[in-house]
Amino acid sequence: MDKDIAIEVKNLTKIYKLYDKPMDRLKDSLGLAKKGKFKEHRALNNVSLSVKKGETVGIIGTNGSGKSTILKIITGVLSPTEGEVNVDGHISALLELGAGFNMEYNGIDNIYLNGMMIGFSEEEIEKRMDAILEFADIGDYVYQPVKTYSSGMFVRLAFAVAINIDPEILIVDEALSVGDVFFQAKCYHKFEEFKKKGKTILFVSHDLSSISKYCDRAVLLNQGVLLGEGTPKKMIDIYKQVLVGQYPLPSSDVENLLDDESIREAAASADKRADAKIKGDNKASKKESVSDVEALEYGDGAAVITEYYITDNKDVRTNSIIKGTDFTVHMRVKFNRNVSAPIFAMTFKNVMGIEITGTNSMVEKAFLEPVKAGDVKDITFTQNMSLQGGDYLLSFGVTGFEQNDFTVYHRLYDVLSVSVVSDKNTVGYYDMNSICKVSDAKND
Going residue by residue through the chain, which has 444 residues, state the pLDDT in tens, using 9 for 90 and above.
Answer: 788 999 999 999 999 888 778 887 777 777 776 666 778 889 999 999 999 999 999 999 998 899 999 999 998 889 999 999 999 988 887 776 556 688 899 999 999 988 887 677 888 899 999 999 998 889 999 999 999 988 778 888 888 888 887 788 988 887 666 666 777 778 778 888 888 888 999 989 888 888 888 899 999 999 999 999 999 988 998 998 888 888 876 654 334 444 444 444 444 443 443 333 334 334 334 434 444 445 688 999 999 999 999 999 999 999 999 999 999 999 999 999 999 999 999 999 988 888 999 999 999 999 889 999 999 999 999 999 999 999 999 999 999 999 888 999 999 999 999 999 998 888 889 999 899 999 999 876
CB atoms closer than 10 angstroms to residue 288: 12
Instruction: Specify whether domain 275-421 bears CATH 3.50.50.100.
Output: no
Domain spans, the chain: 275-421
As to burial, measured by CB atoms within 10 angstroms (0-12 exposed, 13-18 middle, 19+ buried), residue 20 is exposed
What is the rounded distance in angstroms from the CA atom of residue 341 to the CA atom of residue 183? 42
Q: Quick one: pLDDT at residue 88?
A: 92
Best CA proximity match to 70, nearest among 101, 41, 48, 98: 48
**Residue 149: which residues within 8 A CB-CB, separation 6 or more?**
107, 138, 141, 157
Residue 418, helix vs strand vs coil? strand
Q: Quick one: pLDDT at residue 81?
A: 94
Backbone angles phi, psi at 394, to 5 degrees: -105, 140
What is the rounded distance in angstroms from the CA atom of residue 65 to the CA atom of residue 26? 28
Q: Quick one: pLDDT at residue 70?
A: 95
H helix or E strand, kind and range, residue 307: strand 303-311
Structural contact between residues 13 and 46, judged by C-beta atoms closer than 8 angstroms:
yes
Structural contact between residues 263 and 257, judged by C-beta atoms closer than 8 angstroms:
no
98 sits in the region (left: phi over 0; alpha: psi -120 to 50; else beta) called left
What is the rounded distance in angstroms from the CA atom of residue 278 to the CA atom of residue 373? 13
Q: Quick one: pLDDT at residue 152?
A: 79
Structural contact between residues 372 and 338, judged by C-beta atoms closer than 8 angstroms:
yes
Q: Quick one: pLDDT at residue 98?
A: 59
Q: Quick one: pLDDT at residue 13?
A: 96
The structure's pTM equals 0.75
Residue 154, Cα to own-chain centre: how many angstroms?
Answer: 26
Q: Quick one: pLDDT at residue 175?
A: 62
- How would you list the strands of the sheet with 38-52, edge to edge? 38-52, 5-19, 82-87
Torsion of CA 45, 51, 55, 57, to 10 degrees: 0
What is the rounded distance in angstroms from the CA atom of residue 141 to the CA atom of residue 163? 20
